[in-house]
Amino acid sequence: MQHKEKLFSATDHLVSGRNFDVVWQEKNAIAQTLYPPGTNLNSYYESEEYDSHKNEQKSVVGRLYLFAQNVMFAYKKRIIKNNVNGKSLLDYGAGVGNFTAYLKGFNYKVMALEPNKKASSLVAEKGISCVHKLEDLSTDASFDAITLWHVLEHLEDPKAVLQKLKNHLNQEGVLVLAVPNFNSPDAKYYNNEWAALDVPRHLWHFTSKGLITFTTSCGYKHITNYPLFFDAFYVAYLSERNKGKKFPLVKGLLIGLLSNLKALFSKEYSSIIFVFRKA
């Protein structure tokens, strides 16, 4: 049996205000959020403030978020283009479909998978084919790239999902995973107040080593990594805001900058994109 050591309790600042224990799996180099049996995890996504399910942003910070998001869309497209020749893509956990819509504008053949009905309806409004679960895909559906942008940490059984996705990936295709890095400087600085814990929505908290080991055990080969610089700033801002500190944006920008500067040497960025192929 995998030994689990309690690290701390973290608070759900988005929906319930409840505390959830986070435990460490030393063997796997992964942390895990514990929740009571029978918990309806879907209810913890029912908030107008949940960014992945927003179709527009009205606040100053929200507008900055959208600006950074658009910059990152171009960055992510370049990563995909640099690692695969084809243009068919499945975005697993697509939210409201902004990234798939962006790629569609560059003649990518895109499909979205989004279990949340409200978010998936917004995907459909953008003229993008969308399914709610993997079983809805035809058995012969195959893609040059499959992306999970900050999705893997939400899945109750990520190993089963990765193994099933392999069946829908072309032989020379790529799996692209982006996750928060539990070993980043900002994660260590904020500890149980690190906003990227996002309990209980984030069920898993990956280190770089843990994510690579986990994914390769599902039949993939690790190719390369890319940093997500903007995440350090946004996560630090949210962490400061959740703590009720004054001037959270200013302090968040400072802590985010320091985190990125340290990561230039350690490569332990606040969030990291990992690229894999079939083993």
Question: Mean pLDDT over residues 199-210, rounded?
Answer: 98
Question: Mean pLDDT over residues 101-124, rounded?
Answer: 94
Q: Round to whole Å and give the CA distance between 55 and 22.
A: 31
The more confident residue out of 212 and 57 is 212
What pLDDT does 53 receive? Answer: 47
89 has pLDDT over 90: yes
* Interval 221-254: pLDDT, tens: 999 999 999 999 999 999 999 999 899 999 999 9
265 has pLDDT over 90: yes
Helix (H) or strand (E) holding 144: strand 143-149
262 has pLDDT over 90: yes
Q: Round to whole Å and give the CA distance between 272 and 265.
A: 14
Q: Round to whole Å and give the CA distance between 153 and 198.
A: 10
276 has pLDDT over 80: yes
* Interval 122-143: pLDDT, tens: 999 999 999 999 999 998 999 9
Give strand pairing partners of 179. 272
Q: What is the pTM of this model?
A: 0.92
Question: Are the CB atoms for 86 and 144 separated by under 8 Å?
Answer: yes
For the stretch 204-233, what's the b/e string if a residue is b when 16 or more beta carbons lie within 10 angstroms of its beta carbon?
bbbbbebbbbbbeebebeeeeebbbbbbbb
Mean pLDDT of the chain: 93
* Interval 174-191: pLDDT, tens: 999 999 999 999 999 999
Question: Are the CB atoms for 212 and 256 separated by under 8 Å?
Answer: no
Residue spans per domain, the chain: 5-33+41-278
Helix (H) or strand (E) holding 177: strand 169-180
Band of the pLDDT at 192, cuts 50, 70, 90? very high
167 has pLDDT over 90: yes
DSSP codes of every residue in 27-81 = TTTEEEE---TT--GGGGG--TT-GGG-S---SHHHHHHHHHHHHHHHHHHHHHH
What pLDDT does 47 receive? Answer: 80
**CB burial of residue 135 (10 Å; 0-12, 13-18, 19+):** exposed
Q: Round to whole Å and give the CA distance between 230 and 205.
A: 19
What pLDDT does 1 receive? Answer: 47
Residue type, 248: P
208 has pLDDT over 80: yes
* Interval 34-78: pLDDT, tens: 999 999 999 999 887 755 545 555 566 777 777 888 899 999 999
Q: Tell me, which fold does domain 5-33+41-278 have in CATH?
A: Rossmann fold (3.40.50)
What pLDDT does 57 receive? Answer: 56
